[in-house]
């Protein structure tokens, strides 16, 4: 059996009981370590699972799937995935390969940012398509996300913005010289994300990400208990807020859509940088009816 097992969002204890039983039955266990990260190190997972983990980076999952699937017709093999196997990054490719090799596959689901983002208090029903925001460079500022946000905004839907993670990045020099030396991982923070959004708005000028008029909710360490942070405000307020107030990575951002319900605004109020402006913008810009 080839197991693809979601680890959930935070640490070794977010695996399901079913997932843990499957891991313990496996002869090889791979840990997919590129599309997202847990908040704990591999060693802690190994100790808790009682298994050695083989790190599987992007190269390996894409080019060495035969090795990962080796003997999975007669032994149990697992690929562990942060979040859910069909979360922001799907693992349909390796599942298709397993299937075409007649290897039985079992997916064990878990929470991912795609559903746990509901912790921000906005109804998942009312989210439109999800967008990703990558780190801008001096010369590369991809802005196709803006069209998607506009489509959602035009319909009044909320938008989940997933923020870039750079893992196993090589410097230009190391890349040019073919040296497999990697930079430390980088995680996009809320202040960077908000400034990039505003930068693109200034170029595109479609009035969908207006600093003083667009409400957003910043989330960090969703599901992380005491480490979880929720910060609500206008884009301008989020941009001016101290970076450390957003907590440790990973960060995610939600752009609030015009169809927001007053209960959603009320839920966010206690997390607002400025309650008064949170309510004022909700009423005057979003047309939300709030009790006074």
Q: What is the largest CA-CA distance in the chain?
A: 66
When the beta carbons of 222 and 239 are compared against a copy of itself, the nearer one is 222
Bridge partners of residue 216, in order along the sequence:
233, 255
Neighbours of 54 (CB within 10 A): 16
Backbone phi and psi for residue 51, each to the nearest 5 degrees, phi listed first = -140, 145
Measured N-to-C along each axis, helices 17-24 and 42-49 cross at an angle, to the nearest 10 degrees, of 80
Q: Which of 86, 136, 182, 187 binds a copy of itself (CB under 8 A)?
A: 86
Q: Taking CB under 8 A as the rule, does residue 128 contact a copy of itself? A: yes
CB of 81 to a copy of itself, least distance (A): 12
Q: Which of 195, 267, 275, 277 binds a copy of itself (CB under 8 A)?
A: 267
Q: Which stretch binds a copy of itself (CB under 8 A): 7-15, 27-35, 197-205, 281-289?
A: 7-15
- CA dihedral sign, ordered 225, 228, 233, 234: negative
Cβ(184)–Cβ(133) under 8 Å?
no
Residues 151-170 that bind a copy of itself (CB under 8 A): 151, 155, 157
Q: Taking CB under 8 A as the rule, does residue 20 contact a copy of itself? A: yes
Residue 172 token pair: 């230009």
Neighbours of 256 (CB within 10 A): 28
Q: Taking CB under 8 A as the rule, does residue 247 contact a copy of itself? A: no
Residue in the block written with tokens 């370590």: 33
Q: Taking CB under 8 A as the rule, does residue 17 contact a copy of itself? A: yes
Binding site residues, a copy of itself, CB under 8 A: 6, 8-9, 12-18, 20-21, 84-88, 90, 92-93, 96, 99, 106-112, 114-119, 121, 123-132, 151, 155, 157, 222-223, 225, 263, 266-267, 270
Binding residues, by number, are 9, 84, 87, 112-113, 163, 222, 251
């Amino acid at each position: 059996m080839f197991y693809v097992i979601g680890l959930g969002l935070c640490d070794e204890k977010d695996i399901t009981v079913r997932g843990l039983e499957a891991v313990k039955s496996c002869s090889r266990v791979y840990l997919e370590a590129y599309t997202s990260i847990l908040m704990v190190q591999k060693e802690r997972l190994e100790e808790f699972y009682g298994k050695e983990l083989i790190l599987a980076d992007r190269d390996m999952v894409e080019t060495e799937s035969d090795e990962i699937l080796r003997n999975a017709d007669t032994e149990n093999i697992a690929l562990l995935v942060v979040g859910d196997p069909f979360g922001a990054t799907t693992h349909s490719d390796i599942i298709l390969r397993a299937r075409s090799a007649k290897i039985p596959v079992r997916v064990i689901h878990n929470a991912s940012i795609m559903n746990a983002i509901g912790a921000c208090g906005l109804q998942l029903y009312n989210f439109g398509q999800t967008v990703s925001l990558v780190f801008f460079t001096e010369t590369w500022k991809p802005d196709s996300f803006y069209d998607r946000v506009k489509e959602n905004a035009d319909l009044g839907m909320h938008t989940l913005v997933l923020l870039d993670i750079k893992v196993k990045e090589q410097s230009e020099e190391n890349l040019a010289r073919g040296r497999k030396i990697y930079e430390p991982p980088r995680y996009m923070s809320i202040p960077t994300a908000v400034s990039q959004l505003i930068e693109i708005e200034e170029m595109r000028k479609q009035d969908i990400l207006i600093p003083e008029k667009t409400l957003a909710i910043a989330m960090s360490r969703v599901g992380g208990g005491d480490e979880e942070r929720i910060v609500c405000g206008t884009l301008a307020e989020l941009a001016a807020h101290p970076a450390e107030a957003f907590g440790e990575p990973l960060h995610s951002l939600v752009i609030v859509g015009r169809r927001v319900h007053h209960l959603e605004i009320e839920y966010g109020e206690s997390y607002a940088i400025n309650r008064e402006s949170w309510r004022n913008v909700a009423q005057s810009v979003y047309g939300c009816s709030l009790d006074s």
